[in-house]
Amino acid sequence: MQILAMIMMMILMISSHSALATQSLTCHNDYHNTFSCVWNTSKLDVIPPVQPETICWIHVMAKKMRQTKEMVQMFADPAQPHIRSATVGFKGQSFPTISLGTTLHEEVHCDNYTNPMAEIALHNSKNSAVKAAPPEGVEVHGINASWSFVPPRGPLQKYKEFEVQYRSVAQSWKDVANDTINTNETQIKLPEDRLPSNQQYVIRVRVRYQKKLLPNAVWSDWSEEYNWTSTVGQRHHTQGNTHLSDTDTHTLTHSLNHTFMYCYTLTLSSASTEIFQLESSVAGITLTVITLAIILTL
């Protein structure tokens, strides 16, 4: 009888965990003392159903030498009432709340409901979703781009990696999605041949801790965008119009027609004098036409 009761208990625990796992609670932390959590209630199957006005709380527990716990109310997104979010900060700690060997546990409780509505089971901080704050102070001078990033704890400094994107103001970020630059430094040199002088550009940077340290680390949000006008590279030259416009072509054609009509009239005259005059006129007319064409192409 006792064995049967234990089996039933295990089944209930497994089914309870499976139900909670489908409720789409996600949390990430900064590997210091702050958690950000989002809960999608669209697939929540409880009676009575959770309404946007239902008051719910996210409970976050961190334990190493001793256990600490914080809870914060989760608020629904006005545009998407089934999405709730909250930021949980552990304040007044003389040491980092999250460090190597810390175990974490997050769960949601709602007023008038006995059991947790969603949870992320107990897990080690190394396997948690760590998301750093975005880099700051992004700027560009010439071809030199730089920014600053100070992790909340010194040992993380050597495990950072960055992604850099830049584009012209006429492009979108989708246009340069395949041109991302990866680096472990807080400064890079941009390719001068892709920065024509006097053109306007935008740059942004994000950071992530390396997977070899934190295998579930995620990219930070993008930094604030920095706009600048290139002072390097070659200028864009607008080539002169070497083709005649329709108006110029019509004018030149009319002049040529008039000239050749004149030549034809001369050929109806007799004697060598007229022929000499014709040859002289054609030579003069040819020079005139060449001069006119040169003027029109300027």
By DSSP bridging, strand 118-124 and strand 67-76 are unpaired
Closest by CA position to 183, among listed 168, 170, 166, 200? 166
- What CA–CA distance (Å, rounded) separates 64 from 119? 20
SS3 154: helix
Closest by CA position to 158, among listed 121, 210, 225? 210
Burial of 169 (0-12, 13-18, 19+ CB in 10 A): exposed
- What CA–CA distance (Å, rounded) separates 179 from 183? 13
Q: Is the peptide bond before 48 cis (omega within 30 degrees of 0)?
A: yes
Quote the Cα angle for 130-207-176, to 5°: 130
Instruction: Return the H-helix or E-strand segment holding 145.
Output: strand 144-148
- What CA–CA distance (Å, rounded) separates 32 from 237? 53
Contact between 282 and 274 (Cβ < 8 Å): no
pLDDT score recorded for residue 62: 95
Q: Which two tokens stand for residue 262?
A: 């004149």
Q: Which residue type occupies 45? A: D
pLDDT score recorded for residue 24: 87
Burial of 40 (0-12, 13-18, 19+ CB in 10 A): middle
Burial of 88 (0-12, 13-18, 19+ CB in 10 A): buried
| pLDDT per residue as tens, the chain (298 positions) | 555 544 444 443 343 333 444 458 999 999 999 999 999 998 888 888 889 899 999 999 999 988 999 999 999 999 999 999 999 999 877 688 898 899 999 999 999 999 999 999 999 999 999 999 999 999 999 999 999 998 877 778 889 999 999 999 999 999 999 999 999 999 999 999 999 999 999 999 999 999 999 999 999 999 999 999 999 877 655 444 444 444 444 444 454 455 444 434 444 344 344 433 434 444 444 444 444 444 444 4
SS3 117: coil
Contacts of 185 (CB under 8 A, 6+ apart): 162
Q: Which two tokens stand for residue 55?
A: 């008051």
Q: What is the 8-class DSSP label of residue 197?
A: B
- What CA–CA distance (Å, rounded) separates 225 from 205? 8
pLDDT score recorded for residue 218: 96
Q: Which residues are bridge partners to 203 per DSSP?
A: 166, 226
Q: Which residue type occupies 48? A: P
Q: Which residues are bridge partners to 187 per DSSP?
A: 146
pLDDT score recorded for residue 289: 42
pLDDT score recorded for residue 99: 87
If phi > 0 it is left, if psi is from -120 to 50 it is alpha, else beta; for residue 212 that is alpha
